[in-house]
Amino acid sequence: MITREEALRYHSEGRRGKITVSSTKPCKTQKDLALAYTPGVAEPCREIEKDKENAYIYTTKSNLVAVITNGTAVLGLGDIGPDAAKPVMEGKGILFKTFADIDVFDIEVDAKAPEDFIKVVKSLEPTFGGINIEDVKAPDCFVIEERLIESMSIPVFHDDQHGTAIITTAALMNAVEIQGKNLKNIEVVFSGAGAAAIACAKMFMELGVHRDQITLCDRQGVVYEGRPNLEPYRGFFAKRTKKRTLAEAIDGADVFVGLSGKGLVTTEMLKKMKAKGVIFAMANPDPEVDYLEAKAALKDVIIATGRSDYPNQVNNVLGFPSIFRGALDVRATRINEAMKMAATKALAKLAREVVPEAVCQAYNVKKLEFGPEYIIPKPFDSRVLLWEAPAVAQAAVETGVAKQPYQSLESYRQSLEKNLKARSMPIGDSEAAV
């Protein structure tokens, strides 16, 4: 574990913060300067004036994403404001660059009202190839994303919702199969009914889990039919049931999904689940139930958490970099449900493949093999990009939202692999099945 002092020193030493801007073209001579700025810059300006799409040719737009927040729901810190959210947004920029070679401007907006936030983001469309909304509280985030998707012609993606849902759903697909269960028969209980939980529940439904099989629990307990003051997003999952507490809801469940807070679930509660249960305790940094205690108490369960020091880490970095890479590369106008599900299935399939030795070495283990303690790929497995981005791009092409389709899927995958090699990232066996 890192200390507070280490974290503060990391962010403050040397050049402060975590990101910078660097030039992609030389600027060392008078001619370089004339090309980079006046008079040479006028030529691409004229071309873009003729056709706005030329911005993708002559500027960074084709590889530039905005990571944008108002700081109202930052990690586990809550509403800490846009200034305090900036380190997180810079960190997100590092992940985009490291895992998918995508450039990022982090933008922290002093705009709590959804209408104000929407107006700011919409006005940025000329600058960016994609928008990653981050750490905006529910239910505002639902309204914001829906409105921006409707009104913008570039991909808009709220990672707290869909990134979490994509990774969790991939893990669910594999965990349920390992445990010998059927998606159409399982009972799923959520602790937490915010943006991530609702997105996960909806994606589970895309897989075939019926709404009646899902129970949401929030701070007030079970989200049930007739409960007062339910907005439409939680209200969609209001269930006809006599159960009112999380403990009652877990009794007889097959799957527990925690997107709430530390220590809200006891091992005694989990013992009332059906045999061969699946537990996703994803509160960070401390899960809803202690991993080691749950593992000791329940011998036949599969457990995933948000932590890197336990098996089966549900980490959004498995999603958003590759998803945006695939969307940007075919100039998608949006990230639709088919693209999200393509990402999910690519991750689930990749977990079943033989894991290269280089990946095992990166995690200081002798072997990683599909099973109860390896249901989703590791973040530093560079094959994630080679499987997921082409799957997303292919779905964009097939659903008609790609403005610049690839020449062939194989040639696109090879270009991704070439980029990885140029950045000296270990690839291992990169054969993709998309």
Catalytic residues: 37, 92
Rounding to the nearest 10 degrees, give the CA dihedral for residues 221, 293, 262, 139. Answer: -50
Q: Helix, strand, or coil here: 114? A: helix
The identity of residue 152, as a single letter, is: M
From CA 45, how far away is CA 236, in angstroms rounded? 48
| Residue 113 CB burial class (10 angstroms; 0-12, 13-18, ≥19) | exposed
From CA 147, how far away is CA 118, in angstroms rounded? 8
CA atoms within 13 A on the CB side of 202: 19
H helix and E strand count, the chain: 18, 10
| Residue indicated by tokens 């709220």 | 158
CA distance to 132, 137, 380, per residue, from 164 (Å):
13, 15, 18
Q: Are strands 188-191 and 255-258 parallel, antiparallel or unpaired?
A: parallel
Characterize 277-308 residue by residue with b for buried, 16 or more Cβ atoms within 10 angstroms of its Cβ, and e for exposed. bbbbbbbeebbbbbbeebbeebeebbbbbbbe
> Is the CB of residue 187 less than 8 Å from the CB of residue 254?
yes
From CA 352, how far away is CA 166, in angstroms rounded? 17
Nearest one of 82, 154, 89 to 117, comparing CA atoms: 82
Apex CA 193: angle with CA 188 and CA 196, to 5°? Answer: 90
> Is the CB of residue 329 less than 8 Å from the CB of residue 412?
yes
The identity of residue 78, as a single letter, is: G
